[in-house]
A = this chain, B = another copy of it.
Amino acid sequence: MLELHFAVPMAGAVLCTFNTRHDAAMVSFLLKHSGAKVFLVESNLLDVGRAALKRLADSDPAAALPVLLTISDDTDSDDYEDLVANAASEPFDIRWPASELDPISLNYTSGTTSRPKGVVYNHRGAYLNTIATVLAYDITVMPTYLWTVPMFHCNGWNLPWGVAMQGGTNVCLRHFTARVIFDSIARHGVTHMGGAPTVLNMIANAPPADRKPLPGPVRVMTGGAPPPPRVLFAVEELGFVVYHIYGLTETYGPATVCTWLPEWDALPAAERARLKARQGFQHIAMQGADVKDPGTMESVPCDGETVGEVMFRGNTVMSGYYRDLAATKESMAGGWLHTGDLAVRHPDGYIQVKDRAKDIIISGGENISSIEVESVIFSHPAVLEAAVVARPDHHWGETPCAFVKLKDGASATEAEIIGFCRDRLPHYMAPKTVVFEDLPKTSTGKTQKFVLRDKARAMGSLTKIASSKL
């Protein structure tokens, strides 16, 4: 997939990468929607790939199917390596884009709430976001980059191109655990890596036997959700330097950076974590990041309190959704990309996302940021992971419901978790329900809140219990 990030655009084609966890039905849908002409499949996913092609043929016997090419770790029956081996040597016939706004890549959103949408990246945007990403977290010349972010996710935050641009070395893993991460860092002298907070969590909670000393500072770009303070402290103590970025598939991945001021190094740890949890400012290739009232399109005041919607405009906003003009127009209403993320702007100008619009919990008329509640639960020593969603309630409208995974061998009761939160948050923000179980995840390590929201909804109202117990 790394090589195809170069070969496909150089052939004048558009790269469309699929999530490796998709099933045949989804792959079949995406093949059809994208109009793929060539379908490269790794041998370990060949069953899904073939089943997807069969579905496609069954659904429309007259349609031309994409050509299937296999990629394999074995030497036999590997179409891709054969093609490469038998290709003519230089000079290549590079097909340059006619316009820099020609598409380079098609990235389908994860589709947690609706059918996946095909986000079109163009050459200009990909070039600029590659540069911005490289600059945002100090990828200096000749880096060694460890891949934990899938390349099918926003083209791996553009870093197949970015690492090449800086003459770097790619360390690719098929699967990873904390042990594999520490081993790879030590063996290859890794200087940079990406990682969702769940990856940081994995590192922070690695048993001592799985750890190895770092060969030097390792810069980690994290995003997807703000790093919880406890995880941040733990990984920074190990020698990782955490850069917090924020963005969406629609912004080629990274769009803002929590620019770190040197004077903040001297602040107490909790204060540093609070500052680093903010999403910050647009990077150097994005024209504008703003927090706006979607009704009036006015910017919210920089008071750290007024909530608005994060919006973007500039070269690193997608060309649009493929074959979906209505969704494109809706998302770009007023000339700004509407992210659906709710945020405030602090007096120093830094943007802080409070929640996804659909994740906010409205209890007794008060907005509760699920992220803030999760952050507190997370700081409980027995907690490995936590997610908070709305549970419908006859009296309050909604109440916070926490799903918690405890660390191996640790224990905590529902009452303990609730009491812990009430000691640290306004009482109305503390969860009224705590469920202990494993959290459902997307392939990029994000918690699938829509699954939890369905569960919480199925529990029904808590009103009577709530009014007596709390």
Chain B residues in 8 Å Cβ range of A138 = 140-141
Q: A270 CB to closest chain B CB, in angstroms?
A: 23
A190 at the interface (CB under 8 A from B): no
Residues A131 and B135 in contact, CB atoms below 8 Å apart: yes
A357 at the interface (CB under 8 A from B): no
Whole-angstrom CA separation of A130 from B261 in the bound complex? 22
Chain B residues in 8 Å Cβ range of A166 = 135
Chain B residue with Cβ nearest A262: B142
Chain B residues in 8 Å Cβ range of A260 = 141
Chain B residues in 8 Å Cβ range of A135 = 131, 134-135, 141, 166
Residues B131 and A284 in contact, CB atoms below 8 Å apart: yes
Chain B residues in 8 Å Cβ range of A167 = 259
Residues A142 and B261 in contact, CB atoms below 8 Å apart: yes
A4 at the interface (CB under 8 A from B): no
Q: How many residues of chain A have a CB within 8 Å of chain B?
A: 15
A165 at the interface (CB under 8 A from B): yes
Chain B residues in 8 Å Cβ range of A165 = 284
Chain B residue with Cβ nearest A166: B135
| Residues from 147 to 191 in A contacting B, C-beta threshold 8 Å | 165-167
Chain B residues in 8 Å Cβ range of A284 = 131, 165
Chain B residue with Cβ nearest A189: B262
> A299-311, CB under 8 A of B: which get 1 and which 0?
0000000000000
Residues A259 and B131 in contact, CB atoms below 8 Å apart: no
Chain B residue with Cβ nearest A100: B315
Whole-angstrom CA separation of A142 from B284 in the bound complex? 14
Whole-angstrom CA separation of A134 from B131 in the bound complex? 11
Selected from B131, B140, B261, the residue in CB contact (under 8 A) with A131 is B131
Q: A52 CB to closest chain B CB, in angstroms?
A: 38
Q: A253 CB to closest chain B CB, in angstroms?
A: 18
> A352-393, CB under 8 A of B: which get 1 and which 0?
000000000000000000000000000000000000000000
Whole-angstrom CA separation of A131 from B165 in the bound complex? 13
| Residues from 116 to 142 in A contacting B, C-beta threshold 8 Å | 131, 134-135, 138, 140-142
Selected from B140, B142, B259, B261, the residue in CB contact (under 8 A) with A140 is B140
Q: A221 CB to closest chain B CB, in angstroms?
A: 13
Chain B residues in 8 Å Cβ range of A131 = 131, 135, 284
Whole-angstrom CA separation of A166 from B259 in the bound complex? 10
Whole-angstrom CA separation of A364 from B165 in the bound complex? 45
Q: A285 CB to closest chain B CB, in angstroms?
A: 9
Q: A13 CB to closest chain B CB, in angstroms?
A: 21
Whole-angstrom CA separation of A407 from B447 in the bound complex? 69
Whole-angstrom CA separation of A259 from B167 in the bound complex? 9
- Most chain B beta-carbon contacts within 10 A, residue among A135, A166, A259, A261: A135
> A38-59, CB under 8 A of B: which get 1 and which 0?
0000000000000000000000
Chain B residues in 8 Å Cβ range of A262 = 142
Chain B residue with Cβ nearest A137: B141
Whole-angstrom CA separation of A186 from B29 in the bound complex? 63
Q: A97 CB to closest chain B CB, in angstroms?
A: 13
Chain B residue with Cβ nearest A128: B131
Whole-angstrom CA separation of A134 from B142 in the bound complex? 15
Whole-angstrom CA separation of A260 from B166 in the bound complex? 11
Chain B residue with Cβ nearest A219: B140
List 16 interface pairs A-B (beta carbons < 8 Å), by A numbering: A131-B131, A131-B135, A131-B284, A134-B135, A135-B135, A135-B141, A135-B166, A138-B140, A138-B141, A140-B140, A141-B259, A141-B260, A142-B261, A142-B262, A165-B284, A167-B259
User: Shortest 10 CB-CB distances between A and B: which pairs?
Assistant: A138-B140, A165-B284, A131-B131, A142-B262, A138-B141, A167-B259, A140-B140, A141-B259, A134-B135, A135-B135
List chain A positions with a Cβ less than 8 A from chain B.
131, 134-135, 138, 140-142, 165-167, 259-262, 284
For the complex with contacts A131-B135, A134-B135, A140-B140, 6 further pairs of A-B residues with Cβ separation under 8 Å are: A131-B284, A135-B135, A135-B141, A138-B140, A138-B141, A142-B261
